[in-house]
Amino acid sequence: MFNKILIANRGEIACRIIRSANKMGIKTVAVYSEADASARHVDLADEAIEIGPAPARQSYLVIEAIIDAAIRSGAEAIHPGYGFLSENAEFAEACEKNKIVFIGPPVEAIMAMGSKSQAKQIMGDASVPLVPGYHGEDQSEALLLSEANKIGYPVLIKASAGGGGKGMRIVNQEAEFSEGLAAAKREALSSFSDDKVLIEKYLTKPRHIEIQVFCDQAGNAVYLFERDCSIQRRHQKVLEEAPAPGMQVERREEMGKAAIAAAQAINYVGAGTVEFIVDEDGSFYFMEMNTRLQVEHPVTELITGQDLVEWQVLVAFGDKLPSTQNDLTINGHALEARIYAEDPDRDFLPATGLLSHLRFPQDNQHVRVDTGVREGDSVSVHYDPMIAKLIVWDRDRASCLRRMSRALDDTQVVGVTTNIDFLSSLVSHPAFEAAQLDTGFIEEHHEQLFLDSHELNDNILALATLYILLDRSDRSKINANNSADSFSPWHSTNAWQANIETIEDVYFLANGTEHLVQIHYKNQSIELLIDKLRISVSGTLNNNGELDAHLDGTRTHVTVVKDGDSLTILHSDYQYTLTALDKTSQNTFEESAPGSLISPMPGKVIDVLVTEGDKVAAGAPLLILEAMKMEHTICAPLDGTVKTIHYKAGDMLDEGVELLVVEE
């Protein structure tokens, strides 16, 4: 077996691979960018080598730097993880040239599947069913349009080199074709340096079901059943489960065999995933083959009891597959939720920031947490905004969903906006519980899924006030203990005076609105007056911010995270952030003018679609921003005239800067 392997990746997948390597007694070498010097994967590995500055193009994507690190450290093999160089044939070739084993498929197999168009050609020839479409060489707009017309709308334009849902546009009618094509090509060029596209019939209510396959160097092949990844946003998976609900035994076998046929058509070796799109009547069509480990591989591990990273390493070393098809069985049900730094309420816009507070549920036989970050780490613009994957297992789907709800409740993230609440509403949605799955699920149930954002209520204000009181009294106790006269009345922090009820006002800002809480200090107790309602409060607070509160005799347990004036209340059912206002230093909040457009996140200007003086209608696209490899279109907020444009294509921006102004 190998003595030492290098992991050409970062984040949760690098940590995941290190775990299997440790189990197998193999030493690990991590690589890292300047931004990742103290990242979790660097700490977990036996050795770590810096390979360049923060941007992936200058570090994790630099083939020579990684090969050099492998040679210097004496690593015999490289695991590429997923993303970055995992499906890069040039990288696999460079490994081969330098006598380093690439833990992945042969170069030719990567190349064959690297282009979606070519992959379709090969699969068509191997009689694997395909979605009707065009995947030819001729890329002239006129021809693509006529092919789209032939296929019939809606059609889907896809970047041939695509992945991760990037470079894809749905076109509903001929009139939208030209714009959709331009956008798909632009995104494809910036993400994959290749603007070739293909066109497919767009299925309106499909499921995404993929088959995990594994092949060894001796030509043995097995499939490790399916994963249902139909719950997606922006064509990217958010929830994945195995087995696929409602899957018939015969259909499973049929799909498994088709997947093996697909793998064998390209002499595949290692772990691969054959993705199928499944129509309402159950017919399935080949979409693409991913020649690497998938983000969602853990659900397969939990239902089969296998370690797929271990399998990858064994096969790369030249061992036979650890199991035959007959040995493999499905046990129970598994579900994975991807926790992202993103804002579901702003069209899943990626978010960045410092993870000032981070808690995950305890790992056990039912719950597994795969993550690459720790409290105090940052989610930056440079890399994928995934914070962690929660994976749960139970004997059936219903129990599994309950486990997931609980695991999500037990996950706390402060400092960065996340999709945790959104995932909770997804998992508890009756249609999801009833397994009514299709790739349009999130859009179809949009109203109910986004309704759930928690309203500020009196209890939250009471908890925030109680926290301030207890935190203040804790600090005064510390001060008192440290002073010569610990009983001095000067250390008392409440407005207490003998026999008089005294009152103190505190103000909070939540969602742009100010709220007043009046604290009434009585002889023996404290009462809060909120919106004419009196609530008597008491409680205890420990050093971890855990607040045990009694509100009118009802006990509530929350965690409070304080960051400057901002307080985040974490309850198992909700999370709420509000700001304590210091009225003595009159806070004024700058409001931006109604027609000004602010950059929602740091990024790069890709295109400015208007010039100063242009008349625009509300909703008209004005500027295209790229952040975290995704395009975001900034649209006119009102009918008016473009007054000032502050940036041009190519400019880099910070979050919150004014991009342009539209005057009514």
Residues 547-586 that bind ligand ADP (CB under 6 A): none
Q: How far is the CB of 205 from ligand ADP (least distance, A)?
A: 9
228 scored as a contact of ligand ADP (CB under 6 A): no
Per-residue x/- track, 420-449, ligand ADP (CB under 6 A)? -------------------x----------
Q: How far is the CB of 116 from ligand ADP (least distance, A)?
A: 6
203 scored as a contact of ligand ADP (CB under 6 A): yes
Please name every residue paired with 597 in a beta bridge, in sequence order, or none if there are none: 660
Question: Quick check: 273 and 290 in contact, CB under 8 A?
Answer: yes
195 scored as a contact of ligand ADP (CB under 6 A): no
404-434 exposure pattern, b = at least 16 Cβ within 10 A, e = fewer: bebbbbebbbbbbbbbbbbbbbbbebeebee
Q: How far is the CB of 44 from ligand ADP (least distance, A)?
A: 29
212 scored as a contact of ligand ADP (CB under 6 A): no
Residue 541: closest CA among 527, 562, 523: 562
Q: Which of the 8 DSSP states describes residue 361?
A: P
200 scored as a contact of ligand ADP (CB under 6 A): yes
Q: Is 252 a catalytic residue?
A: no
Q: Which stretch binds ligand ADP (CB under 6 A): 69-77, 164-172, 343-351, 390-398?
A: 164-172
Q: Give me the catalytic one of 292, 338, 368, 403.
A: 292
Q: How far is the CB of 258 from ligand ADP (least distance, A)?
A: 16
Identify which of residues 120 and 491 has a Cβ nearer to ligand ADP in the complex: 120
Identify which of residues 12 and 288 has a Cβ nearer to ligand ADP in the complex: 288
Identify which of residues 40 and 185 has a Cβ nearer to ligand ADP in the complex: 185
Identify which of residues 112 and 642 has a Cβ nearer to ligand ADP in the complex: 112
Q: How far is the CB of 158 from ligand ADP (least distance, A)?
A: 6
232 scored as a contact of ligand ADP (CB under 6 A): yes
Residue 332: closest CA among 308, 304, 297: 304
Question: Quick check: 277 and 210 in contact, CB under 8 A?
Answer: no
Q: Is the dihedral of CA 433, 434, 439, 442 positive or negative?
A: negative
Q: How far is the CB of 422 from ligand ADP (least distance, A)?
A: 18
Tell me the one-letter amino acid at 9: N
Question: Quick check: 26 and 4 in contact, CB under 8 A?
Answer: yes
Residue 188: closest CA among 652, 605, 626: 626
Determine the Cα–Cα distance for residues 416 and 585; give it in Å rounded to an integer: 27
162 scored as a contact of ligand ADP (CB under 6 A): yes
629 scored as a contact of ligand ADP (CB under 6 A): no
Identify which of residues 80 and 545 has a Cβ nearer to ligand ADP in the complex: 80
Q: Where are the alpha helices (DSSP H) in 36-78?
A: 40-44, 63-73
Q: What are phi and psi of 206, to 5 degrees?
A: -90, 165
Please name every residue paired with 344 in a beta bridge, in sequence order, or none if there are none: none
DSSP letters, 104-144, are SS-HHHHHHHHSHHHHHHHHHHTT--B-SEE--S---HHHH
Structure tokens at 345: 């309420």
164 scored as a contact of ligand ADP (CB under 6 A): yes
Burial class (CB in 10 A: 0-12, 13-18, 19+), 295: buried
Please name every residue paired with 23 in a beta bridge, in sequence order, or none if there are none: none
Q: Which stretch binds ligand ADP (CB under 6 A): 194-202, 406-414, 481-489, 516-524?
A: 194-202
131 scored as a contact of ligand ADP (CB under 6 A): yes
Q: How far is the CB of 307 from ligand ADP (least distance, A)?
A: 25
181 scored as a contact of ligand ADP (CB under 6 A): no
Determine the Cα–Cα distance for residues 236 and 130; give it in Å rounded to an integer: 21
227 scored as a contact of ligand ADP (CB under 6 A): no
Identify which of residues 19 and 235 has a Cβ nearer to ligand ADP in the complex: 235
Q: Which stretch binds ligand ADP (CB under 6 A): 99-107, 188-196, 203-211, 608-616?
A: 203-211
359 scored as a contact of ligand ADP (CB under 6 A): no
Q: How far is the CB of 256 from ligand ADP (least distance, A)?
A: 19
Question: Quick check: 259 and 274 in contact, CB under 8 A?
Answer: yes
241 scored as a contact of ligand ADP (CB under 6 A): no
SS3 for 376? coil
Per-residue x/- track, 259-298, ligand ADP (CB under 6 A)? ----------------x-x---------xx----------
Determine the Cα–Cα distance for residues 459 and 557; give it in Å rounded to an integer: 12
Size of the site for ligand ADP (CB under 6 A): 21
**Binding-site member from 19, 186, 235, 571 for ligand ADP (CB under 6 A):** 235
Q: Return the biggest CA–CA distance within the chain.
A: 91
Q: Which stretch binds ligand ADP (CB under 6 A): 23-31, 62-70, 199-207, 560-568?
A: 199-207
Q: How far is the CB of 226 from ligand ADP (least distance, A)?
A: 13
**Binding-site member from 156, 293, 423, 558 for ligand ADP (CB under 6 A):** 156
**Binding-site member from 40, 208, 382, 445 for ligand ADP (CB under 6 A):** 208
206 scored as a contact of ligand ADP (CB under 6 A): yes
Q: How far is the CB of 347 from ligand ADP (least distance, A)?
A: 17
Q: How far is the CB of 99 from ligand ADP (least distance, A)?
A: 32
625-662 exposure pattern, b = at least 16 Cβ within 10 A, e = fewer: bbbbbbbbebbbbeebebeebbbeeeeebeeeeebbbb
642 scored as a contact of ligand ADP (CB under 6 A): no
Q: Which stretch binds ligand ADP (CB under 6 A): 172-180, 200-208, 326-334, 408-416?
A: 200-208
Determine the Cα–Cα distance for residues 645 and 662; give it in Å rounded to an integer: 9
Identify which of residues 79 and 208 has a Cβ nearer to ligand ADP in the complex: 208
Q: What angle do CA 464, 467, 470 make, to 5 degrees?
A: 155
Q: Which stretch binds ligand ADP (CB under 6 A): 86-94, 157-165, 326-334, 559-567?
A: 157-165
Tell me the one-letter amino acid at 84: F
202 scored as a contact of ligand ADP (CB under 6 A): yes
Q: Which stretch binds ligand ADP (CB under 6 A): 64-72, 195-203, 550-558, 565-573?
A: 195-203
- 134 vs 187, 314, 421, 582, 593, CA distance in Å? 20, 39, 40, 63, 48
Q: How far is the CB of 288 from ligand ADP (least distance, A)?
A: 5
Question: Quick check: 144 and 133 in contact, CB under 8 A?
Answer: no
Determine the Cα–Cα distance for residues 279 and 251; give it in Å rounded to an integer: 13
Residue 216: closest CA among 315, 139, 310: 315
The set of catalytic residues is 292
Q: Footprint of ligand ADP on this chain (CB under 6 A)? A: 131, 156, 158, 162-166, 200-203, 206, 208, 232, 235, 275, 277, 287-288, 439
